[in-house]
Amino acid sequence: MTLEYDGSPFRGWAAQPGLPTVEAALRAALAETFAAVEGLAVAGRTDTGVHALGQVVSVDVEGGPPPERAAAALNPRLPDEIAVVSAAEAPAGFHARHSARSRSYRYRLFTRATLSPFEVGRSWWVPRPLDEDALAAAAAPLPGEHDFRAFTPTRTQHDVFVRVVERAEWIRRGDHLDFEITADSYLRHMVRSLVGTMLEAPESLPELLAGADRSAAGATAPPWGLYLVSVAYDGSP
């Protein structure tokens, strides 16, 4: 299944006792729709307040509607902030996380001089002038294989900090300035820390990508500007 969601009211993807999460809402809808639900997996576990335009979920179900009718059956049982965009029968052995080849994220800045109520919770308002040439230069060295330990919390469960970035660039879209990145996988807070660092000290990126400590990088951008845009699998564009 491909999902869209507004992450504002949720404490991230992963189910947590007593807290509203995207996973908990989806599991409840699946339980109401199918007789058996097992093996729910997600391509990317988004944090509190982070949104998704193309989250991918795989699940084994029995005793309910066929795949082509699953979205229509699930959506009335989901909160308004979550929608199943499409559903299809997956190939044998498919796993939303482990089968993924890459994931693409967008971090959205709203750069108008005045705040918009329609952007609250959906972008980071940065009304000060930005040096877009410097930001573009900062993103230029990101593609390739690098050690990103400077862009994840010091206390972490990660043992390996090397990630492979396929694409990274800043794109101006009217009042929005978007940072877009595609990589094989990500460290926790990696994209948000990259954005915060590029805004604070864009010239520091080459040195930081050599495996510098977290203290050498900039602040972590707020979660509400981050979107999981799409997930790519072998055989997909």
Which residues are annotated as catalytic? 47
HSE-up of 38 (CA within 13 Å, CB side)? 4
